[in-house]
Structures are given as structure tokens and as C-alpha cells.
Amino acid sequence: MQSVTILGATGSIGVSTLDVLARHPERYSVYALSAHSKVDELAAQCERFKPARAVVGSAAAAAQLSALLQAKGLRTEVEYGEAALCAIASAQEVDAVMAAIVGAAGLAPTLAAARAGKKVLLANKEALVMSGQLFMDAVAESGAVLLPIDSEHNAIFQCLPHNYGRQPAASGVARILLTASGGPFLKRAVETLDAVTPEQACLHPNWSMGRKISVDSATMMNKGLEVIEAHWLFGAAPDLIEVVIHPQSVIHSMVSYADGSVLAQLGNPDMRTPIAHALAYPERIASGVAALDLTAIATLQFEKPDFQRFPCLALAFAALRAGGSAPAVLNAANEIAVQSFLDLRIGFRQIDRVIDQVMQALPQGEVGSIEALMEHDRLARDAARRCIAEIAPGESQ
């Protein structure tokens, strides 16, 4: 029996994870669940999965959740705040931690799980993009097992040899081919992108996801963050990582080998497949995902990404090549810009302009410690807010 903590249980990944766990009650028990503010949803999850602990974002949310749980006669211990998130990620009772909080808010608890030597199921790509080497060092020092949940990285993981040591050349890996759907605006006239709404940007053609990652998919910053994620997970230099547009989202990514072989992982676009894969690894368990019907799909297409249409992809490659604080700055500026777009303060095409300006304005720095990293993160958020205030004056943040 494996005991699981889900960070971000009420989100898209969190709900899919609980769906897989519920199919295998003899294999998994839920130790703890967290949510930021969706107290009613979390209470319903507690009633169904009976975790020992539940963590929310504020004292007010904790009081609300406690009252709901008491009324149901549940004994789940309720806590709130970052220290409590780190505690449920690193508690001795926990075997596996699903890191599914969105954005930088997930860094501290995900790192706590890595430092505690847990099996870390990593959905929260922003945490790894920000902390890069620091995160990989924590995994190596503690002996944690890091398993990618992002469908592309899970696919690559499945296409690499079992003893892969983060050295592509030693395993004959010639290229990592990250597939991308291209999002909802792959074919829309570029000059009309200024006018798109958050609802249009969140309408992903193949995947149903949280709003932040949906906007990231529309700008292709999601793919940019995934390029950086692939660099850290698989030890791949930027030139070894190629983005391929594949609008059907059936091939989740590929590894190209020195002998000309290309290995791919295919499946319906449903996150329960990588979640079940990582939960059971190295075994295989049912996920609830329907078998792939290749003849119904019939056609798989591929094209090169257009860096003019998707400047965020170019910005992410540039940040990876620059190294140091650049990926953390890119991520922080993106988080602020995407939230401002969702709040209707800036237009869609201003997202990449804000990030570009912030990256140009901030001096390159080292990230030798989490404290240094968080300072770069803070400076980048401040710079992004200033930039947005210039674009949308007269509105307070």
C-alpha cells in the first residue's frame, strides 16, 4: 500500500489523480490533500478519500473547511499555509507526492518532497523551471525518485532506456522531439491575436486544463517551459531539444536515437495515462483512459513551429541558453503577465512583450541558493507589474 499526498488536489491534475487512485484502493491510500481556496470541493474530496490531513491557503479557508468536515463527522486535521504544505509533502508517513500546484507557489512543497527523498510525481513544471540545478541536486542528494507527469516528459521518460543517466550521448540519444499541439491559435491570423479573449485562449483543442497552463499553451510558453523542463530532467543541451507541432496530440513526444530509430509514446490526450504510469512505475495499472483507435484518428500531422507567431517559445529557448536566473525571471514575468491577461488588464500579444521587457531589464544573476532564487523571482514580478502599469495605467494591481 502506497500513501499519497496530492498538492493541488482540486485542480485539473489533482482531480485526475484522485480518479486514478479511486480505481486502485488496494494499492493506494490518500495521506493528505491540499487546495488553495476551493473549500467545498476539498471537503467533498475529504469525505470520499478520508485523508489524515488537509491544507488550504488561509486561516479563513481553514476555519470554513474545519466547520464543513466537523458537520460531516470527519477527523481530517486541517492546516493552512506554506509550512503546512511542506509538512504534508515531507511527512514520514508519505511514499509519493503528486506536485500539482500551479506556478511558483508549488516550489517550496515540491522541493520539500524532493529533499525528504519521496517519490515525486512532477506536474508543477514551474517549480523545476525556476530552481533547475538546485532541484536536481536535492533529488540526487536525498535519493528521491523523480517521475514526470507532464505528458511530453512522461512520454520521453517511457522512450528512454531504464538505466538512462541524464547523459544523452551515453545512451545514443540524438534528439529529444517535444510535440506541441500549437494551441487554439495555430492557424488564426497573427494580426487578430491582439483581440482574443481569455475564454478563447483557454479553449484548448485537445486538452482540458487549468486556466494558467491553457493560456501558456495558446502563447506556446507552455512548450517553452517544457523545453527547460526537458533540459533538467533528461540532461539535454538546448540544441538537442526540438519542438514539433503535432495538432492531434496523439504522439506525446519522441526520442530520436543515433541509429536512426525514433521511439514515440502514443495515447489519447488524457492526463490519467501519465499519472497512472508514474504512480505504478515500473508496473502498469488501469487509468480509465480508452484505448487508442488509430484508424479513427487516421491522420497524424507534423510541422515546424513559427517563432514569429509564438515569440514566447523563442524567449524560453533564450532563457535556457542564458542560464543562471534567466529561466526564473522568464517564469515569474510570465505568471504575472498571464494573470493580467486573464484579469483583462493587458492584451494577448502583450504577454510576450512584458516578458521580453522584463528579461531585458533585469541583470543576469546566479542562483546558488533558494534565497537568491526567490530574490530574482521577486524582482522579476515587480518589474513585470511596473511594465503592466505602463501598458494599462490608472488601474491598481
Residue 335 CB, nearest approach to ligand NAD (Å): 10
Per partner kind, with CB cut-offs from 5 to 8 A, the member of ligand NAD, Mg ion, none near residue 267 is none
Work out whether 150 is an interface residue with Mg ion (CB under 5 A): yes
Nearer to ligand NAD, 104 or 326 (CB): 104
Residues in Cβ contact with 90 at an 8 Å cutoff, skipping those fewer than 6 apart: 112, 113, 115, 116, 118
Q: How far apart are CA 54 and CA 84, in angstroms?
A: 9
Nearer to Mg ion, 150 or 270 (CB): 150
Nearer to Mg ion, 85 or 104 (CB): 104
Nearer to Mg ion, 150 or 352 (CB): 150
Nearer to ligand NAD, 14 or 247 (CB): 14
Work out whether 229 is an interface residue with Mg ion (CB under 5 A): no
Work out whether 352 is an interface residue with Mg ion (CB under 5 A): no
Nearer to ligand NAD, 35 or 379 (CB): 35
Q: In the β-sheet with 251-257, what is the strand arrangement from edge to edge?
A: 241-245, 173-180, 251-257, 262-266
* 25-29, Cβ contacts within 8 angstroms, sequence gap of 24 or more: 26/1, 27/1, 27/2, 27/280, 27/285, 28/1, 28/2, 28/3, 28/4, 28/279, 29/1, 29/2, 29/3, 29/4
Per partner kind, with CB cut-offs from 5 to 8 A, the member of Mg ion, ligand NAD, none near residue 101 is ligand NAD
Strands 96-99 and 77-80 come out as: unpaired
Nearer to Mg ion, 151 or 340 (CB): 151
Strands (E), the chain: 2-7, 28-34, 53-56, 77-80, 96-99, 119-122, 145-148, 173-180, 241-245, 251-257, 262-266
Which stretch of DSSP H or E encloses residue 246?
none
Q: Which residue is nearest to Mg ion (CB)?
A: 150
Q: Which stretch binds Mg ion (CB under 5 A): 149-157, 326-334, 354-362, 388-396?
A: 149-157
Residue 25 CB, nearest approach to ligand NAD (Å): 22
Strand, coil or helix: 251: strand
Q: How far apart are CA 228 and CA 329, in angstroms?
A: 13
Residue 226 CB, nearest approach to Mg ion (Å): 6
Strand, coil or helix: 174: strand
Q: Which stretch binds Mg ion (CB under 5 A): 61-69, 134-142, 143-151, 203-211?
A: 143-151
Residue 225 CB, nearest approach to Mg ion (Å): 9
Residue 167 CB, nearest approach to ligand NAD (Å): 26
Residues in Cβ contact with 45 at an 8 Å cutoff, skipping those fewer than 6 apart: 9, 10, 18, 33, 51
Residue 213 CB, nearest approach to Mg ion (Å): 8
Per partner kind, with CB cut-offs from 5 to 8 A, the member of Mg ion, ligand NAD, none near residue 100 is ligand NAD
Residue 82 CB, nearest approach to ligand NAD (Å): 8
Residue 37 CB, nearest approach to ligand NAD (Å): 6
Residues in Cβ contact with 312 at an 8 Å cutoff, skipping those fewer than 6 apart: 216, 219, 220, 221, 224, 334, 351, 352, 355
Per partner kind, with CB cut-offs from 5 to 8 A, the member of Mg ion, ligand NAD, none near residue 12 is ligand NAD
Cα three-residue angle 246-247-248, rounded to 5 degrees: 95
Nearer to ligand NAD, 38 or 175 (CB): 38
Nearer to ligand NAD, 212 or 277 (CB): 212
- The interface with Mg ion within residues 151-180 (CB under 5 A) comprises 151-152
Which of 221, 224, 220, 181 shows the shortest CA–CA distance to 317? 224
Residue 160 CB, nearest approach to Mg ion (Å): 17
Cell 483583462 belongs to which residue? Answer: 344
The HSE-up count of residue 41 (CA atoms within 13 Å, CB side) is: 15
Interacting residue ranges for ligand NAD, rule: CB under 6 A: 8-14, 35-36, 38, 57, 100-102, 105, 123-126, 150, 207, 209-210, 212-213, 271
Which stretches of the chain bind Mg ion, using CB under 5 A? 150-152
